[in-house]
Amino acid sequence: MSRAHLRFQVDSRIATLLSQEYSSSERALKELVDNAWDADAEQVTIVLPKPLSGDPIIIQDDGTGMTEEELRRHYLSIASDRRSRRGERTSGKNRLVKGRKGIGKFSGLMAAASMSLETRVRGRVCRITLRLDDLSQVEDIEHLNIDLQSEACEPEQRGTTITLSDLNQGLAYPDASRFRQILLQDYGRQDDFAIMIDGKRLDVDDVLGSYSEQEQELPHAGKVKLRFAISDGKSGLRQPGITLRVDGKSVGRPGFFGLDQRDDFPPKLLRKLYGEIEADGLRDHITAGWDAAVENSELLKEVEGYVQPILRDAYEQQYRKEIQLAQARLQRAILARLSALPEHKRRFADRAIKKILDRYYGEPESKVEPMVNVLLEAMERSDYRILLEHIAEATPGDVAGVAERLDEFGLAEMAFLVQQAAARQVFLDQLEALVRDAATTESVLHKALERNLWVFGPEYSLFSSNSTLRRQVEDVLGKVYTGDKADKRPDLLLNENLSGKYLLIEFKRPSHALNHGDYVQAIGYRHELTKYVGSAVQVLLVGGGRSADFPTGSREPDVEDRIFGQIISTARRQIEWLLRTESL
C-alpha cells in the first residue's frame, strides 16, 4: 500500500468570486472604508469618477499603513482573521474591528479590473497591483506573481491609498448619494473618523429627505445649534435620533428630545430622524463618564423645550401632505357612508379619521382599517346619547375608567363597541336563518352581505362597492350572459379597499357546493375585470360546501373560498371575544 500527502489548491477564480459577495459597487467600496477604520484612520478621502470619464476611483486614508512584512504575511493571506491576530479592538483608538473574514481586499475588484495599493509607514512606501487579467492566467492563486515595489518616503507619512482602474462597464458607476446613505449608517456619528466624498464631508445633510438648520440663544442654556434631517425613505435609519454635542464631543446615544414619550406621535416616524444639536452651555450638566446629560437638569429641559416643537413642525410639513393623501383615499373609499351621515356626525368622523391616521401612521392596514370601520359603524348606528348614558349611570370609579380608555385610544367609538357587537349578533342570527333556507338565492345573500363584509373577517371590513365598480361588473357579465344564458347569470360583487386593492366576491346559493367549474368561471371573471380596473383583483368564492373536484392546491394566487357555515361560526367567535375583552 502506498501513501502520499495531499493539499488543498486555491483556484485563481477565488478572488473574482469573493469580489462578487457584495450586492452593489457602493457596498463593495464600503468594505475598503471599513479597512481604513480598522487601521485607526482619522480621515478617509474618496474620489468617485464621473460616468464614462475613464477616471479611477481613489480611496485614501491616514491610518497606520502596512510594512512590507505585514503586506506579505497578513494582507496577502486570504481569509486571515485579523481578530485572531490582534484582538477584537484596534490598538490605537480601541475601535471595534469591522474586518472579520479577511476577504475585503478583493472588494475593489467587483467595480474595477485593476486595484493598486500604496501604503506608507516608518519611512517606507510599498506598492502592489492586483489585476483580474493576471488572475485568469494562473490556475492556483498561490502561483500568481505580484510585483512589490518598496522605496523610502518621508518618516512622518503614513496611510494607505487604493486606486481602482478600468472600471467594470457592465455595472452602474458608484452613485455618490447612495454611497453616502450606506456610510451614514455606520460612520455618520463618529467624532474621530471624517469621510470626504468628492470634496464634501459626510454629514447630517446627506440624509435623503428634508434638512433643517437653526441656531438660537436660549436664556439659560446659551447658544444652541440644531441640525437635522427627516428621511423620506420607506425604511427607518439604523441609528436614528438627535446627537447631543457639547464642546465638540457627542454625549451618550442619540435621543428624540421627548417626542418618543408622546402618545400622539407615530413611533415609526421617529426612525426617520437624524441630526445633532450643539449645546456647549450644558458642559456642567454632563455626567462624569460623558455618557449622558443629567436627567433633572433645568438647562436640559430648556433645550428640550426648544427642540421638540421644531421637530414636530418639520414632521408636520414633510408628512402632512402624505397623511392627507391617505385620508383622501380613505374618504374616497367610504364616500357613500360618510355622505349618508348627518353633517355634525360627518365632521366628527373626518376629525376622528385624521387622528387615527396621524397616530398610526406607517402601521399595517390590518391594524388601521378595523379602527376606522368601528368608528363609522358607531356613527351610522348610534348616537352621542349612548356615551352620555354610560357616564351618567357609572360610578366615579367607572367614569375614571372610561376617561382612561378614551384617553388611551382617543376615539369615542370605544363606548359603542358593546352595542355594535350585540347588533352584529342579531345580524348573524338572521344570516344563519337565510343560509338554512334552501330557497335562499344568491341575490338575497348579495344584498345581505354587501354592506356587512365584516362577516368575512377584519381584513375585508373596509372593502366597499360603488356605482362605477357595479357598472364594470355589469359590462363584463353583459358580454358573457346574453340570450338563453341570461337566466344563468351569477351574482358578483366588486369592491375596493383603502389602498386601491380590488376584491371580487362570487356568491353561490347555500344549497350549492363549490366545484371546479365555479373556480374556473371566477378566474375568468377576474381576468376580464383586470382589463377595466388596471390592477390585481383578489377573488373570494362563497358557497354552501365544496365538491370533491374543487381545487385545493395549484390555484392562481389570491383566490380564497369560504363556506357559509364556517363564516358565521368564525364571526360569532370574534364577537364573543370582543365582548369578553370589553367586560374585563
Could you please report the per-residue DSSP string of 308-335?
HHHHHHHHHHHHHHHHHHHHHHHHHHTH
Between 497 and 328, the higher pLDDT residue: 497
- pLDDT reported for residue 388: 44
Identify the band that residue 19 occupies on the pLDDT scale cut at 50, 70 and 90: very low
Tens digit of each residue's pLDDT (9 = 90 or more) over 385-418: 444 444 455 555 554 554 454 444 444 444 455 6
Check whether 491 has a pLDDT greater than 70.
yes
Give the integer Cα–Cα distance in Å for 108 and 162: 9
Sign of the Cα pseudo-torsion (19, 20, 25, 30, in order):
negative
Comparing C-alpha atoms, which of 213, 117, 132, 126 is closest to residue 163?
Answer: 117
Whether 14-200 shares its CATH topology with 204-321 is answered no
For the chain, the C-alpha Rg in angstroms (whole number) is: 33
Question: Which range scores top for mean pLDDT: 38-42, 436-440, 532-536?
Answer: 38-42
Q: How does DSSP classify residue 446?
A: H
- pLDDT reported for residue 329: 58
Residue 424 grid cell: 352584529
- Cβ distance 109 to 15 under 8 Å? yes
Average pLDDT over all residues of the chain: 78
Domain map (residue ranges) of the chain: 14-200, 204-321, 338-413, 422-573
Our CA dihedral for 99, 103, 107, 110, rounded to 10 degrees, sits at -160
- pLDDT reported for residue 40: 94
Mean pLDDT throughout 320-325?
61
Architecture of domain 14-200: 2-Layer Sandwich (3.30)
Identify the band that residue 324 occupies on the pLDDT scale cut at 50, 70 and 90: low
Check whether 337 has a pLDDT greater than 80.
no
Against a cut of 0.75, is the pTM above it? no
Please report the beta strands in 192-293, taking only residues with DSSP state E, as ranges in sequence order: 194-197, 200-201, 209-218, 222-231, 241-246, 249-255, 273-278
Identify the band that residue 280 occupies on the pLDDT scale cut at 50, 70 and 90: very high
Comparing C-alpha atoms, which of 432, 431, 433, 436 is closest to residue 450?
Answer: 431
Question: Measuring CA to CA, how many Å separate 141 from each of 69, 135, 172, 376?
Answer: 20, 7, 28, 71
CATH topology of domain 204-321: Ribosomal Protein S5; domain 2 (3.30.230)
Tens digit of each residue's pLDDT (9 = 90 or more) over 444-462: 888 888 878 888 887 776 6
Q: What percent of the chain has pLDDT over 70?
A: 71
DSSP secondary structure string, 85-154?
Answer: HH-SB-TTT-PBP---SS-GGGTHHHHEEEEEEEEEETTEEEEEEEEHHHHHT-SBGGG-----EEEE--
- Of the chain, the end-to-end C-alpha distance in Å amounts to 82
- pLDDT reported for residue 4: 44
Tens digit of each residue's pLDDT (9 = 90 or more) over 216-243: 999 999 999 999 999 888 777 888 999 9
Tens digit of each residue's pLDDT (9 = 90 or more) over 362-379: 666 566 667 677 667 666
- How large is the greatest C-alpha to C-alpha distance in the chain, in angstroms? 101
